[in-house]
Structure 1
Amino acid sequence: GCKNPHKCAATAREILSKLAPKYDTKTKPKRDELSLTHHRKEKNSQAHESRNGEILFNSTTMIRTSLKDCFRVFTD
């Protein structure tokens, strides 16, 4: 535990202020331009249904089950 809460809070604030913006939970993350557009998602659905055509990987797919379900391996 912390014997001096004020000092611990000040130290924590100092550490958090040094975090790169990428890790700052108070700011909105920058767009990475990797998200699929509505049009591209439609084309993916059509390619999937017809079993023909190119399907682009959707990097914004979220899995909220267990950690083991969050990894994907692509092989040839």
Structure 2
Amino acid sequence: MKRKRHSKSAFQQCRYYEVDNIFEYMVETYINGNFSTFRELYHELNKEARKDFIGFLLVECSPQYHIEILQEIV
């Protein structure tokens, strides 16, 4: 059985998933329609990384996705 990952920093997630930017990866996952995977990725982040993700979302992502993604993580 696969162990759940919890309270990981963005850096730890980048290393684990072998990506340069976990936040970009999460947004791409959402845009591609993998909503359950996106939720898992979000819930694996620690509190500080979740705040950083929301900041990234509001500054770096297209406004059309802001409400959709925020509703998905609540």
TM-score by length of 1: 0.29
Higher relative contact order (CA 8 A, sep 6+): 2
Higher helix share: 2
